[in-house]
Amino acid sequence: MRRDNERKPLVKHIYTADPSAHVFNGKIYIYPSHDVERDVPDDDNGDQYMMEDYHVLSMDDLDSECVDNGLALHQDDVPWVKNQMWAPDAVIVNDKYYLVFPAKDKDGIFRIGVASSDSPTGPFIPQDKPIEGSYSIDPAVLVDDDGSIYCYYGGLWGGQLEMWQSGSFNPDEKRPSGDDEALGPMFARFAPTMDRFETKPCHVTILDENGIPLKASDEDRRYFEGPWMHKYNGKYYLSYSTGTTHYICYAEGDSPEGPFTYKGRIMEPVLGWTTHHSIVEINGEWYLFYHDCELSGGVTHERCVKYTKLDIDDKGNIKTIHPYE
């Protein structure tokens, strides 16, 4: 039986998307991007996604009202940001809360920034500069059992991931296609101070069932954007959006650095172009937080955050969700 809130917009007074959900001190906190109404055409660069700030949502439990805790960080408060504050994540390290977010710098290049607070709801104080060596979008942070802090990130097309294949930014870089190896997300380890990467960023490799890296043409399975990492029964689960085919898929590995083997789909397409999610354990059960465009009637840059329960078998396989059944 579904909960009353399940698969329904958690808030309706603002548009929200890209939810990163966490349990901090027994309470559920959701860190979404904040969509704004813009009468602009859609394009492959994502120019219609002109988010300017972050609000933190919270719930005492899955049956309670979802509360908007107000403005947590605005682009005007971040010295290096020009615009487009896209999908964030949050993490607690040494009793301090960190908001990890992507935005375009003054040159129009996506970088990853960090802001800190003593409260999970902010307000967050940003660092003066983005993380050195960072680029692209959609950061997701995993604190492993040994205390290592991993950051996964990257998105194709408007997210600029493929524009860094040469080692520096080239907006004319050829996109992988056909039998080219698909680009996986990037990963690096944060320093405990959360102000720098202490390892050089590297691509994650996603393999097929025969141990061969997925191809760029395999749009039903290859990575596009929106990485998330969680651990289950000692295994690492990388989940992500396929972008063009609108699936949330997952791959499994024995190390947070990969490689990961493709396992299947978590969710079929939702209403709207983008798919972006997080996975969190709440009271011994696992839940998927995601978004669609139900609240706006299908406007792709006016989305709403939802959640639903995951069905995981004893081998760790995740049953595919059909979001409107």
Q: Which of 18, 138, 162, 294 is catalytic?
A: 18
Structure tokens at 167: 């080692």
User: 3-class secondary structure for 306-317?
Assistant: EEEECCECCCCC
For residue 110, what are the CA distances in angstroms to 77, 83, 158, 160, 177? 17, 9, 9, 7, 23
Long-range Cβ pairs for the range 126-131 (8 Å, 24+): 126/73, 126/77, 126/78, 126/79, 127/195, 128/79, 128/80, 129/79, 129/80, 130/80, 130/105, 131/195, 131/196, 131/197
Spatial contact of 16 and 88, defined as CB atoms under 8 Å apart: no
CA-CA distance, 311 to 38, in Å (whole number)? 37
Structure tokens that stand for 183 in this block: 């680009």
**Does the annotation mark 65 as catalytic?**
no
225 given a catalytic annotation: yes
- Region of 21 please: left (phi>0), alpha (psi -120 to 50) or beta: beta
Nearest-angstrom CA–CA distance, 258 and 273:
28
Check 35, 89, 138, 225 and give the catalytic one.
225
Length of the chain: 325
Q: What is the DSSP letter of 3?
A: -
How many C-beta atoms lie closer than 10 Å to residue 197's C-beta? 18
Catalytic residues: 18, 225
